[in-house]
Amino acid sequence: MSSSPQRAATPTGTRRVVVGVSGSIAAYKAPFVVRLLRAAGHEVRVVPTEAALRFIGAPALAAVSGHPVDTGVFDDPAAVEHVAVGEWAELVLIAPASADLLARLAAGRADDLLTATVLTTTAPVVVAPAMHTQMWLNPATVENVATLRRRGVTVIEPDSGRLTGADSGVGRFPEPERVVAEALAVLGGDGAPRAGAPAALTDQDLAGRHVVVSAGGTREPLDPVRFLGNRSSGRLGTLIAAEAARHGARATLVAANVGSDVLALLPAGVEVVPVGTALELEAAVRTACADAAAVVMTAAVADFRPAVVSGTKIKKHGLDGDGAGHGGASGAAKGDARPAPIELVENPDVLAGLVTRPPRTDGGRTLVVGFAAETGDATGDVLAHGAAKARRKGADLLAVNAVGDGVGFGDVDSAVVVLDRDGAEVARAAGSKGHIAAGLVNLIAARLA
């Protein structure tokens, strides 16, 4: 803390808090934040942006804070107000923080009293974003948030739920009680920033949690050299496990035939459990989930496996093989290369099993997240199929890979729409797999909080 006389110690327990308000419709909730802070005995000065004043009047903010309200660096140039306000503050809390405000902070702008105050203060800065889901998940905002967190700004995760319009999703301004509690938690008992506090509330928001991710594609053997498989690389699931670890989680990746080039994306400390078949994957996931806060099933699990696996290579002409269960392999006459039908039996639905027979041993609940790649067909579009699957599987969240013709997401790497177990849309994201992984882990962290 500065030794400036303006920042002399305040009575024990009382903090000087600058509440910044920016141009989000949630600005109308700022007075509740101010009232909670004052009710807890703290002194508050409110600094709104010009845009905030379109949503909430300066007289209301002055009344609840008990201080006059200024917005511009030129309101009282002689007072060098941005420096004075920044030095006065023991904590700067911007609630709500709009996408535009986050962008201006990340860029280091100082074009109004609030952004100038953030640049001059040495106090911890906490922001509580509130915006529409698309804006929150936009790559520009994701990068701005990452930049701010890297610089030590505490970014409170927005809530998920009903937004301003008829839609819902992540981006909602949290309850003022949570905003105030998380902001004050940044300060230690002596008013100094608590060591490591910003990280503990932001990047580390999954600390102490176990997150299990399945990735890749199962391979169901026919014989020692052949299998029924799929093209899944496991990249998205691997990135989700990496992102969960970055948020402080203990992460386990159940990797079904994931290449070493993809596994190289994992940071140190992520446990990798290699599996081959659907049955192996089921056993590994259920074991790992015994204490999991969340499980994310990105793996492409084969719905069926060959009824019988030949112990020896099945021969085209059935010369040596037992050809067990594959009829024609052993039954075909020499010279008759007509393939025999392969009898299949159904694999367990691992995801549905996690919902109906949760493996947690401590009685706690695991948040279950599934994936579904849908293309749409004559019976319904991508979202109709996704919503039906969400209701059928009963997972807490189902991320539908909205791929295929006519969906209209444009030329992007990937796109997902996240549905709840009733098939209602919770969030959507489009962009690189890393971006989608970041959005999903934010959503999971918010759900677990």
Query: In a 3-state reduction of DSSP, which class is residue 158?
Result: coil
Closest distance to ligand CTP from the beta carbon of 323 (Å): 27
Rounded CA separation 81/400 (Å): 50
Establish if 94 lies at the interface with ligand CTP (CB under 6 A).
no
Rounded CA separation 125/75 (Å): 23
| Nearer CB in complex with ligand CTP: 61/419 | 419
**Which residue stretch of 26-34, 37-45, 70-78, 368-376 sits at the interface with ligand CTP (rule: CB under 6 A)?**
368-376
Rounded CA separation 384/62 (Å): 50
Closest distance to ligand CTP from the beta carbon of 411 (Å): 24
Annotated active-site residue 230? The verdict is: yes
- Backbone φ and ψ of 417, nearest 5°: -120, 125
| Nearer CB in complex with ligand CTP: 69/297 | 297
Count the neighbouring beta carbons within 10 Å of the beta carbon of residue 394: 16
Rounded CA separation 401/413 (Å): 11
| Nearer CB in complex with ligand CTP: 247/393 | 393
Establish if 347 lies at the interface with ligand CTP (CB under 6 A).
yes
Closest distance to ligand CTP from the beta carbon of 177 (Å): 35
Task: State the number of binding residues for ligand CTP (CB under 6 A).
Answer: 13
Site for ligand CTP in 283-312 (CB under 6 A): 297, 299, 301, 303
CB 212 within 8 A of CB 288: yes
Exactly one of 371, 415, 444, 447 binds ligand CTP (CB under 6 A); that residue is 371
Q: Which of 138, 144, 230, 347 is catalytic?
A: 230
Site for ligand CTP in 149-188 (CB under 6 A): none
Determine whether the annotation assigns residue 349 to a binding site: yes
Q: What's the longest Cα–Cα distance across the chain?
A: 101
Q: What is the DSSP string of 37-105?
A: HHHTT-EEEEEE-TGGGGTS-HHHHHHHHTS-----TTSSGGGTHHHHHHHH-SEEEEEEE-HHHHHHH
Rounded CA separation 243/322 (Å): 47
| Nearer CB in complex with ligand CTP: 61/382 | 382
Determine whether the annotation assigns residue 351 to a binding site: yes
Establish if 73 lies at the interface with ligand CTP (CB under 6 A).
no
Which residues belong to the annotated binding site for CTP? 303, 313, 348-351, 371, 389, 393
- Residues at the contact surface with ligand CTP, assessed by CB under 6 A: 278, 297, 299, 301, 303, 347, 349-351, 370-373
